[in-house]
Amino acid sequence: MTTARDIMTPGAECVGERDTLVDAARRMRDLDVGALPICGEDGRLKGVVTDRDIVVKAIAEGQDPTTVEAGTFGQGKPVTIGADDDVREALRTMEEHQVRRLPVIDGHDLVGMLSQADVARSLSATETGETVAGISE
């Protein structure tokens, strides 16, 4: 069985829930990523903020990215996958929630991120194509 841990990108870095969207955008630029997990002051995962969130949900709506906190996008229970869960469960979760990236957790600790690119590098073309199609519906 291939697990999420087997194909994830390890070492995910968080943006703090009190950091601004500008801070998040700069960290994304520096890490060359399009999404960052949001971690609370307690170190727990609060959600995920994407480059699209910053542009479409904040800037396009006239919000000031120098004052809006990343935690604004961490409302509700974050969609995650367990590190030792089967990769097919991760694919089902991505499709069900229409997300392209999943934080991978071990207990309550963030251990990595699983993206469509990770899936594409690790699974067959058929499985990858089905997942991309399911997420993009």
Q: Per-residue pLDDT averaged across 32-40, rounded?
A: 92
Q: Give CA separation, 68 vs 20, 64, 87, 93, in Å.
A: 5, 6, 35, 29
Closest to 40 measured CA to CA, from 68, 17, 74: 17
Q: What is the pLDDT of residue 2?
A: 87
Sheet holding 35-39, edge to edge: 15-16, 35-39, 45-50
For the stretch 105-135, pLDDT in tens is 998 889 999 988 887 777 777 776 776 676 6
pLDDT of residue 120: 75
Is the per-residue pLDDT at 76 higher than 90? no
pTM over cut 0.85: no
Q: Euclidean distance between the first and final Cα of the chain, in Å?
A: 27
Q: What is the mean predicted confidence (pLDDT) over 53-72?
A: 94
DSSP state of 19: S
pLDDT of residue 128: 67
CA-atom Rg of the chain in angstroms: 15
Integer Cα distance of 53 and 51 in angstroms: 5
Average pLDDT over residues 92-108: 90
Q: Which fold has domain 4-135?
A: CBS-domain (3.10.580)
Per-residue pLDDT band at 36 (split at 50, 70, 90) = very high
Which of 23-27, 46-50, 120-124 is predicted with the least confidence, judged by mean pLDDT? 120-124
- Hey, how many other C-beta atoms are within 10 angstroms of the C-beta on 125? 8
pLDDT value, residue 14: 93
H helices of the chain, where? Answer: 4-7, 21-31, 51-52, 87-97, 116-122, 125-135
Q: Tell me 77's DSSP state.
A: P
